[in-house]
Amino acid sequence: MTNTIADAVQRGVLALRHVRPDGSEQWFWRSKIDVTEWDKKGEAWLPSKAVLSNLSPRAVLPESLPGLWPAEPAGVELTTLCSWFDGSHAFQEVTQPGYPPESRAVPKVAVAEIHKAVAQAVKAGDLWLVFGNDSVWQDEPTTLQLDATAKIYRQPAMLNSFELLPNALLKDAWSKDAEPKTMVEKLYTELKKLKGNPWPPKLFIGTLSDAIGRGLVARVSGNGPLVSLSADANVELAVKSSAPPPVPPTPPSGRKLSERVCLSPGEFQDLADEVATLSKSLAGCDVQFEVAVSIKTKAGMDLKTANEVLGKIKDGWKL
C-alpha cells in the first residue's frame, strides 16, 4: 500500500502532507518522500484540493509538467511557470503508449515557493535562467534575476570544443591571420549571437578550458587556468599553425559513431539505467561505449582513489 502511495506521489496523482513534531508541515508532490514514518503520520491529498507550503525542484522540470512546458528548445517566462501552480492547471500524463494522455491536476503553490524551487533547479543544473544579459546555470540566481519576465529553459546543450574554433559560424570571432587570434570576451560575444541567448559563462569557460587543454586553442597572454568570463575577458587566444588541431576521431570501417557529448554524473547514471534497453534496440550491432572522464584541476587534488575506481572498471584506465 505504501509503495502505491509513494508511486502516486511521484507521478503527481497524489500529494502527501507530513506534519513534523513541531507542528510544521512538509509537502511532497512529484518527488520522493524522504521522511521517516510518513506512512503513519502522512496525509494523502488530491492535488486539486492541496495548497502546498513547499515545492520540490523536481516538480518544476519539463518532465514533471508535460503538456505545459513547450517543446524544446523553447523556454517560458517565470511568471508563466508560476501560473501553472494557481490551482486551475493540469499536466498530461501518458499512462500507456498509444493511449491518450490523462489530465492530472497541478496543486496550488505560493509564488515565493515556486521561485525557491526554480532557483534550486537552476543551481543543480536542471534548468537554465536568462534575464537580460544574465545567464545563470549551475549557480543560484539572485532575487533580482528571479524576475517575472526571466526566461526559464531546459539545461543548455553541452558545447563541443570544436565549436569554438575558427569556422563559418564563428568567422567574426577570429582574425584572418595565418594563426587566427581572438579575445575570450569577443569569442563569447560571437557565441552569444550564434546561440541567440547569453550563453552560461561557466559552460563557456569550461569548454574553452577543455579546448586549451587539448591543444586546440592556445593562450597567448597571461598564464594559468581560466577562472571566469569576467576575470579572463581580455585574455588573448590563438590557433597555432605549428600545431594544427586534431580532427575529430573517425570510427573504424563499418561502424557508426554518435555525436560526442559531455554528461554530468546524473546524466551518466541515466545512460547506465538505459544500457539494457539501448543494447536490445541495437541487437547484433556490437554496441560499445567510448568514455573519458573530465575534471577541473585544482591545487593539491588527490587522484589515487579515483584512479583505483577507474582501474577496477577497465584495467589501465586512469586520469
- Which pLDDT tens digit goes with each residue over 217-261? 999 988 889 999 999 999 999 998 764 444 555 566 567 777 666
- Confidence class for position 22, pLDDT limits 50, 70, 90: confident
- The crossing angle, in degrees rounded to 10, of helices 184-195 and 201-213 is 120
Q: How remote is the C-alpha of 134 from its chain's centroid?
A: 17
Query: Domain extents for the chain?
Result: 2-154, 161-238, 265-313
Q: Which of 164, 207, 167, 203 is nearest to 186 (CA)?
A: 164
Rounded (to 5) percent helix, strand, coil in the chain: 30, 15, 55
Q: Which residues contact 162 (CB under 8 A, 6 or more apart)?
A: 216, 245, 248
The identity of residue 225, as a single letter, is: P
Give the pairing of strands 181-183 and 218-219.
Answer: unpaired
In three-state secondary structure terms, 69 is coil
pLDDT at 303: 80
Residue 2 is placed in which grid cell?
505504501
Q: Which residues contact 147 (CB under 8 A, 6 or more apart)?
A: 78, 131
Q: What is the 3-state secondary structure (H, E, C) of 89-110?
A: CEEEECCCCCCCCEEEECCEEC
Q: Quick: pLDDT tens for 163-205.
A: 899 887 888 999 999 899 999 999 999 999 988 889 999 899 9
Please state the pTM of the whole predicted model: 0.72
pLDDT at 244: 47
Pick from 19-33, 45-59, 284-298 the range whose average pLDDT is largest.
45-59
Please identify which residue in the block is written with the cell numbers 489530465.
Answer: 103
- Confidence class for position 60, pLDDT limits 50, 70, 90: very high
Is 46's pLDDT higher than 90? yes
| Cβ atoms of residues 146 and 132 within 8 Å | no
Q: Which of 147, 119, 139, 297 is nearest to 229 (CA)?
A: 139
266 DSSP 8-state letter:
H
- CATH topology for 161-238 is Arc Repressor Mutant, subunit A (1.10.10)
